[in-house]
Amino acid sequence: MLTLIKEQLMPSWSADKCLQGVLKSWIVIALLGQWAFAVYILSIYALPLLIGAPEHADKVSPAQGFDSSGGFNSLMFFGHIIPAALMAMSGIFQLSPGMRQRYPRFHRYNGRLFLVLGMSGALTGLYLSWGVGIRLSDIGAMGVTLNGLLIPAFVFLAWRSALNKQFAAHQRWAVHCFILVNGVWAFRLFLMGWYVINQGPNGNTRSLDGPADISLSFLCYLLPMLVAELYFWAKKRRSDSAKWLATTAIGVAALITLIGVGAATMMMWSPRVVMIFNNLV
């Protein structure tokens, strides 16, 4: 009798259900953060370009060295920024099991688009950082440079495994692709979240080459990749302790993402969006 009551009262607290529940919570938080980032990019870059006043983007752009006057470098910049907004609006859906099961065709075509745009973003980003010089410091750009170099490798692994119908491997590499492609977005979340926790900069500089800046520029994608590997490892285990460990790690990641999204929206994205609209009015 006691066993029956326990099963009726506590079915939702199983390790598997909690693991999937916390993962869905993180996806929702990341989705909101991605959409906020997309609105930010479209507002400060795409909107001035569409109305024929790209010079207004120069005034609010955080990218040092950005020039909207035209030419190849300007084309490369917009070719890097606008696809980032497109990926932010639809890329997160690739992680949803429900979307994969209910809309397999959307999953396939959206995934192909995401990988192509991700590869393009990596190559144009590397060119802009080291070819054009849109970076705040050399050492501060090392984290994002490694991020950009890893993207093509993981795009290839995800693409090859999909072609070979190795779906378990494809899911693993695709998740790592998603993390790497969104590394710059995650860095903003980590950085703004760090400011909130410390009530200001702590180990940061204006050139983003302080010890905290450098550490966060690597951790913003290496740490989520480690959490992803922990999740895939826990899924293969029968032990509940492994699943609870992964649940805790993803829960912490979701909390960090929530703090970062809130901080980046209030401290970085919203003020610049308001500024660009004031300039355009």
Q: Is the pLDDT of residue 1 over 60?
A: no
- State the average pLDDT over residues 200-220: 93
Lowest mean pLDDT, pick from 76-90, 214-228, 262-276: 76-90
Q: Is 1 a member of any domain?
A: no
The model's pLDDT over 4-16, given as tens digits with 9 standing for 90+, comes to 444 444 445 688 8
Same domain, 184 and 128: no
Q: Which domain holds residue 244?
A: 164-281
Q: Is 218 a member of any domain?
A: yes
CA distance 13 to 244: 11
* Final residue of a structural domain among 118, 134, 150: 134
Using a 10 angstrom Cβ sphere, with 0-12 exposed, 13-18 middle and 19 or more buried, the burial of residue 9 is exposed
Share of the chain above pLDDT 90, in %: 48
* Final residue of a structural domain among 96, 117, 134: 134
- For the entire predicted model, the pTM comes to 0.87
The number of folded domains in the chain is: 2
Q: Is the pLDDT of residue 88 over 50?
A: yes
Q: Is the pLDDT of residue 69 over 60?
A: no
Residue with tokens 């050139």: 207
Residues in the chain: 281
The model's pLDDT over 143-183, given as tens digits with 9 standing for 90+, comes to 999 999 999 999 999 999 999 999 999 999 999 999 999 99
Answer whether 188's CB lies under 8 Å from 268's CB.
Answer: yes
What is the CB neighbour count within 10 angstroms for residue 196? 15
Q: Is the pLDDT of residue 187 over 80?
A: yes
> Quick one: pLDDT at residue 260?
93
